[in-house]
Structure 1
Amino acid sequence: MPQSEQARLSLLSPTAGTVVDLKHVRDDVFASKKMGEGFAVTDTPGGAVVAPVAGTVIMVAKTKHAVGIETADGTQVLVHLGIDTVELDGAPFTLDVQRGDTVSAGQQIATMDTTTIAKAGKDATIVVVISNYAKTMSGISLVDGHVRAGEVAAEATPNLAGVVASRSEKTELTGFDALAADIIRLVGGKENVRSLTHCITRERFYLHDESKADDAAISELDGVLQVMRAGGQYQVVIGPDVEDVYDALIAQLGEQAAGGEVAADASAQKERPTSALGWAKHGFSELIGVITGSMIPVIGLLAAAGIIKGILSLLTTFEVITGDSQTYEIINAMSDAVFYFLPIFVGFTAARRLGADPVIVAIIGGVLTYPSILEMSEGEGARSIAGMSLNADFFGLPFHMASYSYSIFPIIVAAWLASRIEPWLKKVIPNMVRMIFVPLIEVVVVSLAILLVLGPVITFISTGIANGIQSVYDFSPTISGLIIGGFYQCLVIFGLHWAVIPLVAQDIAATGNSSLNAIISATMVAQGGAVLAVFVKTRREKIKGLSGPAAIAAFCGITEPAMYGVNLKYGRVFAMASIGGAAGGLLTGLFNVNMWGFTGSLIGFSSFINPEGLDFSFWGFLIASATALVVAFVLTYLFGFKDSDVDSGREVKKVRLGNREPVQR
């Protein structure tokens, strides 16, 4: 059918008023059309609000200020009642529909009280947006001027190919699109998906009802390594193709599903604990979730910086450059910047995870790393408390100014504090001055809270924990290496490794090295050695297709494809890998191997080069890694795997302890 003959989608005005282009709306998200194309209705009288299109209600906000409708052709239309009215907790609105209802165009779906909205200082403009406009439409035209409720306010021209592609009944999909369609169908359909995010190897779904998901069927899909349920998430382990599959999933679910850690359907509530033990588990799960969400985006940067540091050490060791040259300073800045300004980066990611303004918290991170603040932390005070020198004062009040450059935990606490005071500030500060006074008050209050009180306490505690771990290692590096090497990857299964990784990162940032990280590296090599043995021994093409890339990934520092694709699935393989990790860890401790970078496994060889000159840590790393690899490989080849295991391969038990498992360490 020619474009001119295509049936256009008529969008009815949800209320009487004046139709205006979205660019005139006093909200940056709608005005920039990031949410999609559509129109707004101003001068609204209040009263009944009608559906702009016919379809199924797919979203109803808990605060009653928004309703989402999907048409039969897959076009998704959002009706947003007022600007910033989410802060009114539903007071001005009465909804006449709920999720799953079928509505006709012009049917009443809500009632809006504009008097209440005006008294609260809010804007009663109603916004209608086609949220998947870029995919399903090729143009839109608006009615000029005043309309009545239920009259046509705009007409959108469908992009026929996009509409067909957006329908749930896809029949000719291939590659990642086909895999995404199968996953969506097997988790209970897109109506069962609240939101979706991903880490380095897995898709992390928030589902309305996890019981609708077919674990066995999803696990059998080509391209899926494993299925996990942890921390309120339904996790589908994909491996290196995770980003491509994520893009395909979002293309079919719609952009509204890309909700990160927040459910797309705000009306869905997590089950709350009812006992002290339940609250303890909930608190631990949330803590791990915050650490995970804060660290995931910077892990790659830390790894890259560690490799650059190692290369810089090689260049100076072999006298390619000198430590006082400008070339050295430039490369050193590349390797050190992410560590030096870590509070800024982690502040941004932690705020995004906790719901605070990321830019404001990043600025607070900038306060903590400001040059004069760092200079102040190097001073000595006349008095001390609990070993902390009172080296600064604020209006005559003495306090301990810690060094926050290279730190992690103080800024995470700052992000949490910001997430608590920011909503309150937005409620009490009028719209017209909010843009200035919210960041003003937030930066001042949170910065002072961290600098004067919370920061020194957190620094004292985190330093004590790190020193405690180091003391255990110093008591017997060999025994510590044996135990940690044998059991560390067990922590990864439950997500408990995220309690260790920030300590390792902070240890490297603060002291320049980490012996604990060296042991962890050996466990990664062992997982790779075990899955490599499976690759060599198996005659089954599918297992070779899984184990070969998984071995490469493990030697590059990502053990998840190996663990969930093969090793844990065929139980003895993981046991042999753990024995290899114990052997490698034992030698790492025996040789007192140290590590100056964050990147482990074989790809991280440069992390074991001492910046002051090549020493035995590098050779100890090679010996320990070779031992871990050989022991895991030989034991797996002889005792850990045979092709008949594939027929009786067991599923990995679904753990519920912990929260999220991004980069495997």
Structure 2
Amino acid sequence: MKQVHLLTPVAGQLVPLESVHDPVFSQGMMGQGFGIEPTDGQVVAPISGKVTMVAASLHAIGFTGNNGLEVLVHLGIDTVELADRPPFKVNVQVGDTVEAGEKVAMMDLAAITSANKDTTVIMAVTNTADMVTKLTPELGEVRAGVVGAVVELKEHVAEASVVKGKGGKYDELATQIIAQVGGPVNVKSVIHCITRVRFYLKDEGQANDEAIRNLKGVIDVAKAGGQYQVVIGPAVTDVYDAIVGQLGAGFGDADASAVAMEKEANRLAWQKMTPWQKVKHGFSSLIGVITGSMIPVIGLLAASGILKGILSLLKNFNLVSATTPTYVIINAMGDSVFYFLPIFVGFTAAKKLGADPVIMGIIGGVLTYPAIVGMATTGKVTGHLLGMAINANFFGIPVHVASYTYSIFPMIAGAWLASKLEPWLKRVIPTVLRMIFVPLFEVVIISGAIIIILGPIITALSGALAAGIVAIYKLSPAISGLIIGGFYQVLVIFGLHWAIIPIVVNDITTTGHSYLNAIVSATMVAQGGAVLAIALKSKFANIKELAWPATISAFCGVTEPAMYGINLKYGRAFITASIGGAVGGFLTGLFNVNMWGFAGSLIGVTSFINPKGLDFSFYGFLIASAIDLIVAFTLTWMFGFSDNDVKNVKKAPEKKHLGQQVAN
């Protein structure tokens, strides 16, 4: 069977031709093809050959391929009516020779939309009757210049042969490799890592392993992860460039190659590490994923934290009652980003880890779905297992459903699982079924894994930590203040601090006060003190832009912006902040500072006023907070941060690349 590939002319959602809103194309009058709902206006050539037509209104470009296929790329629907001011710029003219994937035009999507026209890009093989037996589109989200359809040619049509090199050092090797993997028609796409050219083939059985191994310049052949890997060594980039140069730009994937290189570098580095280095590297990588997942929402968290702090202040001074609609509306404005945090974190963590962001956002929606939240908070408890309340069942299996609002760690773990599951699903599910069944299986499997396995594990860890903290607190308020103050914000990183909240709530609802909450408040002041030092010390405008609102947010009782945006990212600052928290917690416990409200940090000053009359808890809070803030600020200023830390973070990718080259 003779096959050729047609590349996607634009990036966007590739849809069947019959679904486009133009009867001339959708009914196949212009030949077989497909449509794309574009997300970017850059247009590339779908095939190598000559430009045979450019419409006067610039809305359509025709190509004749080297194999005789005649292809029409139609930019938008009814856009010919915009001929007086065409929203297109065409870089080619009739008679020009183009390579598949070469940039040929730009379309102004905003201008087309504002003119009430459809932006759908349609591609059709206009000589389908003479040339094509079957055209199979690769439906789903696509980039420009990737394989958009597989075309089966009629028997009398000559099959596209391997393009010969242009005389470069590695062109002959590239030609031989392409031929031995089954020719261009057997190649879906190709990427590379540090030492290997990695092919995604339609049929690995067509590749001649032994012949490729015996080629001069090839070290070995390997098969893993759905890839046919040709081991080249240090010259891999040159060989890859030669292969893509012969296949066409649309077959390469620079982004995927960069990811593969990073993974390969990490694998090689991991093999050389000592056990302790592996622990440090693993923890550093985890922190990198957490901060990378949180950075996009830090501004929202800071703004919401400030709003929540102002609302707490209004409530504490009895300017607004918690039962009024005013309070409810403002609280929703400040609390929504925290309540629905799993949705946002799912999206950003997926982008960080290479999974589908939209699917992970939907999974976050599953966890915050009202019925799930209700099941976790008010579900009937039918028993206990490992200290966890059994409040639901799944196909008859008793499970513990936890509350995931305000949480981040389950979603990051879920995104990691998705990054492993998604490639496997795409390998085993046929292309025509992926658009429906990949999201279906992913949502079911990842949501189920979080609710049935990860959630209970986190709950069990939280319960054990809570029991340990209570035990420590009973030993000595000062010692417990020192330990809790030093490590409480570490629990916040992993979402385990929610085990402490029920204890605080129980204290306040049963006794009207909470010594434990006073210690927790000290840790918030410390994080604010550390980020305040960075806001004043740094000369970088982008650091100041993050640090100032994070400082205000921390003093309003919300530390996530300070931690994820600044302190954790630059490492030592989180340690100096934690030392400040330990000092503040020690003094809070030593002074027996009590707290009669939920709102902590500096904004919660009125929570430390005893309803029966002002006592030393109020002054103890002021003293402990002042010393706490000074210690965190001073240590961070002196040891916890410098602008060189920012420069090192910015240079990290270059250093990694250098390390990769050295490693090989």
Superposition map of 1:218-617 within 5 A: 262=259, 268=265, 270=267, 271-273=269-271, 277=276, 279-377=278-376, 378-469=378-469, 471-473=471-473, 475-482=475-482, 500-503=492-495, 506=498, 515=518, 517-524=520-527, 527=530, 555-556=551-552, 558=562, 583-589=583-589, 590-592=591-593, 605-606=602-603, 610=607
The alpha-carbon deviation at position 450 of structure 1 amounts to: 3.1
Does the alignment pair 1:127 with 2:250? yes
SS of the equivalent of 1:91 reads strand
Q: Secondary structure at the match of 1:65?
A: strand
Instruction: Say if 1:594 and 1:359 are closer, same or farther in 2 by CA, change over 3 A.
Output: farther
For the 8 Å contact 2:523–2:582, the answer to whether it is kept is: no
**Match of residue 91 from structure 1:** 228
Identity of aligned residues (%): 40
State yes or no: 1:65 paired with 2:189.
yes
Rate the CA distance shift 1:528–1:477 in 2: closer, same or farther, 3 A.
farther
* TM-superposition CA deviations, 1:38-78 (whole Å, max 9, x none): 99997794553468999999xxxxx993479xxxxxxxxxx
Match of 1:539 in 2: none
**Alignment partners' CA distance in 1, 2:604 and 2:170:** 55
Q: Distance between the aligned counterparts of 2:168 and 2:260, measured in 1?
A: 25
Is the 2:462–2:496 Cα contact (8 Å) retained in structure 1?
A: no
- Tell me the secondary structure at the aligned position of residue 384 of structure 1: strand
TM-score (norm 1): 0.51
- Superposed displacement of residue 517, structure 1: 4.5
Find the counterpart in structure 2 of residue 166 from structure 1: none
Q: Deviations over 1:218-243 (max 9, x none)?
A: xxxxxxxxxxxxxxxxxxxxxxxxxx
Once residues 560 and 405 of structure 1 are traced to their aligned partners in structure 2, the CA distance between those partners, rounded to angstroms, is: 18
Secondary structure (helix, strand or coil) at the match of 1:398 reads strand
Structure-2 separation of matches of 1:552 and 1:611: 26
Q: Which amino acid aligns with 1:395?
A: F
CA shift for structure 1 position 289 = 3.6
Whether the aligned pair in 2 keeps the contact of 1:410 and 1:454 (CA below 8 Å) is yes
Q: Which moved more, 1:10-19 or 1:266-275?
A: 10-19
CA distance in 1, matches of 2:419, 2:597: 34
Unmatched 5+ residue regions in structure 2? 1-43, 50-64, 74-100, 102-120, 124-136, 154-158, 172-186, 193-197, 205-222, 506-515, 555-561, 654-664
Distance 2:359 2:466 in 1: 29
**Contact 1:527-1:581 within 8 A present in 2 as well:** no
Matched residue type, 2:462: S
* Amino acid paired to 2:323: D
**Offset of 1:423 from its aligned partner?**
1.9
Q: Post-superposition shift, 1:456?
A: 2.0
Shift of residue 460 of structure 1?
1.6
Distance 1:41 1:422, change over 3 A: closer
Residues in 1 aligned to 2:233 and 2:594: alpha-carbon distance in whole angstroms: 67
Whole-angstrom CA distance in 1 between matches of 2:400 and 2:563: 41
Q: 1:267 to 1:560 in 2, by over 3 A?
A: closer
Deviates more, 1:508-517 or 1:289-298: 508-517
Match in the other structure for 1:151: none
Q: Counterparts of 1:610-629 in structure 2 under 5 Å?
A: 610=607, 621-629=621-629
Q: CA deviation at 1:498?
A: 5.5
Q: 1:300 to 1:636 in 2, by over 3 A?
A: closer
Q: Is the 8 A contact 2:409 2:495 kept in 1?
A: no
- Which AA in structure 1 matches 2:250? V
Deviation at 1:524, TM superposition (A): 4.1
CA distance in 1, matches of 2:148, 2:460: 54
Residue 525 of structure 2 contacts residue 581 of structure 2 at CA under 8 Å; is this kept in 1? yes
Structure 2 distance, partners of 1:411, 1:278, is 27
User: 2:270 is matched by which residue type in structure 1?
Assistant: R
User: Residues of 1 paired with 2:445 and 2:540: CA distance?
Assistant: 57
Q: Structure 2: which amino acid aligns with 1:380?
A: K
Residue type of the alignment partner of 1:623: I
Answer yes or no: is the 8 Å Cα contact 1:531–1:566 preserved in 2: no
Classify the secondary structure of the residue corresponding to 1:523.
helix
Amino acid in the other structure paired with 1:330:
I
Following superposition, the deviation at residue 88 of structure 1 comes to 7.9
Contact 2:529 2:632 in 1 (8 A): yes
Instruction: Name the amino acid aligned to 1:333.
Output: A
- Residue 104 of structure 2 corresponds to which residue in structure 1? none
Mapped to 2, the partners of 1:403 and 1:294 lie a distance apart of 20
Distance of aligned partners of 1:404 and 1:431 in 2 relative to their CA distance in 1, 3 Å threshold: same
Is 1:48 matched with 2:162? yes
Q: Which amino acid aligns with 1:272?
A: W
Residues 1:566 and 1:606: Cα distance change in structure 2 (over 3 Å): same
Distance 1:446 1:98 in 2: 40
CA-CA distance at 1:368 after TM superposition: 2.2
The DSSP-based 3-state class of the residue aligned with 1:272 is helix
User: Does the residue aligned with 2:162 lie in a helix, a strand or coil?
Assistant: strand
Cα distance in 2 between the residues matched to 1:282 and 1:565: 15
Rg comparison, structure with higher value = 2
C-alpha distance in 2 between matches for 1:564 and 1:372 = 34
TM-score by length of 2: 0.52
Deviation at 1:398, TM superposition (A): 2.8
Deviates more, 1:626-635 or 1:611-620: 611-620
Count how many residue pairs are aligned between Structure 1 and Structure 2: 459
Cα distance between partner residues in 2 of 1:453 and 1:582:
33
1:354/1:416 contact within 8 Å kept: yes
Name the SS for the 1:332 alignment partner.
helix
**CA positional deviation for 1:432:** 0.7
Aligned equivalents of 1:635, 1:53: Cα separation in 2: 62
| C-alpha distance in 2 between matches for 1:346 and 1:383 | 32
Q: Distance in 1 between matches of 2:457 and 2:260?
A: 34
Structure 1, 363-372 or 11-20: larger mean CA deviation: 11-20
Q: What displacement does 1:290 show?
A: 3.6
Deviation of the 1:331 alpha carbon: 0.8
Per the TM alignment, residue 549 of structure 1 is displaced from its structure 2 partner at its CA by 10
Q: Give, in whole Å, the separation in 1 of the partners of 2:597 and 2:352.
A: 29
Residue deviations 1:100-145, cap 9 Å, x none?
64999xx765776xxxxxxxxxxxx96279x9xxxxxxxxxxxxxx
Higher deviation after alignment, 311-320 or 550-559: 550-559
Contact 1:529 1:628 in 2 (8 A): no
Q: Distance in 2 between matches of 1:444 and 1:564?
A: 33
The structure with higher relative contact order (CA 8 Å, sep 6+) is 1
How far apart in 2 are the matches of 1:613 and 1:353?
A: 47
